[in-house]
Amino acid sequence: MHTLLQIPVLGIGIEEFVYLALASLAGGAFGAYLGALPAFVFTGFLTFTGELLAYLQSGVNGVLSGVDPGSIAIGVTGSLGFGAMFGPHVSFAGGVAASAYMGKKYPELEPSGWDLHPGKVLTEAYDTAKLDIIGVGALFGFIGWLLVAILGGLGLPADNVAVSVFTTAFIARLAFGYPLIGKPAGDSYFDVSPFERGDERPVENGDGEPVADGGVMRMDTGVWLGHQYKWGPVAVLGVVGGAIGAYLWIFTGTFFLGYGISAMSLLFLTLGVAKIPVTHHITLLGSVGGAVAAEIASGEIAATAGTEVAVIALIGGIVFGTISALLGEVSERLFYAHSGTHVDPPAVAIAATMVIVYVLYALNVTAASGYLGL
């Protein structure tokens, strides 16, 4: 049976819309059940699998007749890793929104020893009997998928998944009564000295705003990662992660293998291993930066290991990885530290750095647009 009705902008039929909408509702609920960070780790495993398949399938062409190289990999990475059920704009975003709602409605569910607002919890799996929390996750999974579908339908030349991840986080703040950005406890939004001193203040659990009497003692400034916020070490992490991303791109030709590895490494963070760095925004842009630098140097979006172009690609990966790392820290200090919920610094960094990639492409500095596919 052929579909006659199509939804404007989205460019899909009613049946496909219903199918994907139901998948996104389930994916958002999945994120609420597992917690945002465990759900994202699952995304990492799917992405790694898809990109590994892409690399392995790159040798299929001309060997097996009737096989489209990359078709299986695209199905895993695109439809699963970044798809309507397990993509970070769905499952991770659903978990983030569920925690924001929990912080307002059930602050007593926060983990033992948690000193930030409970709306920032990313690692907790919530009681399956709390169907309102699960419902919030499902709803925001759908919103996250719909945003990506709309932005893609409009042809926005951006990382629409990353844009959706931080947009739904801001929507959750507004929906559940949190300050959109919050007020800094220090001299400016970039001042994290209250965190370094261990300053606390009484706040209302519901919205994280200071109160004169009563309330719950919380950190004055809620730094995202206590082991990953100082400018110098963050820049060094950008250098290393960017080089790793570029190296993986040079060797495999895939953009998201480093991203998948970085996301999988967060399994250790969910298991309580302290001070695991968060690097997926760095390795991803390291891979993209490698491609951009290689194209500028040689006119081709490719590099052979051990050549001059490969050296330039590594340097490009380092540059873009460092930019993304530092933009992540900027985002943390502006959008995360002073309100009561999670707005994802890596998502903001990825979206912002890919804008730089688009600008370079639009100005004809390079013909490489990374995974934007322009």
Inform me whether the pLDDT recorded for 206 exceeds 60.
Answer: no
What whole-number percentage of the chain has pLDDT above 90?
Answer: 72
Q: Is residue 313 assigned to a domain?
A: yes
Residue 1 lies in a domain: no
- SS3 category, 126: coil
pLDDT of residue 71: 46
Distance CA 104, CA 306 (A): 55
How far apart are alpha carbons 6 and 16 in whole angstroms?
9
Residue 2's pLDDT band (cuts 50, 70, 90): low
Please give the pLDDT value at position 113: 75
For residue 190, being part of any structural domain is answered with yes
The answer for 202, left when phi > 0, alpha when psi is -120 to 50, beta otherwise, is: beta
What does the alpha-carbon distance between residue 166 and residue 173 come to, in Å, rounded to a whole number? 11
Q: Pull the structure tokens for residue 280.
A: 């997926």
Buried b (16+ CB within 10 A) or exposed e, 43-72: bbbbbbbbbbbbbebeeeeeeeeeeebbeb
0.85 exceeded by pTM:
yes
Statement: residue 213 has pLDDT above 60: no
Residue 70 placed within a domain: yes
Question: Which residues, other chains included, contact 113 with Cβ-Cβ below 8 Å and sequence gap of 6+?
Answer: none
Beta carbons within 8 Å of 241's beta carbon, 6+ residues apart:
258, 262, 277, 279, 282, 283, 286, 321, 325
Cα gap 37→266, rounded to integer Å: 8
Residue pLDDT, tens place only, 79-111:
999 999 999 999 999 999 999 999 999 988 888
Q: Check pLDDT > 60 for residue 207.
A: no
Count of structural domains, the chain: 1
- Give 218's strand partners: 201
pLDDT(22) > 50: yes
More confident residue, 139 or 214: 139
What average pLDDT is seen over the chain?
90
CA of residue 5 relative to chain centroid, distance? 33
| 337 compared with 68, residue with greater pLDDT | 337
Residue 202 has pLDDT above 90, yes or no: no
- Among the residue ranges 144-148, 197-201, 238-242, 359-363, the one predicted with the least confidence is 197-201
**Which structural domain, as residue segments, surrounds residue 332?**
6-372
CA 333 – CA 324 distance, rounded (Å)? 14
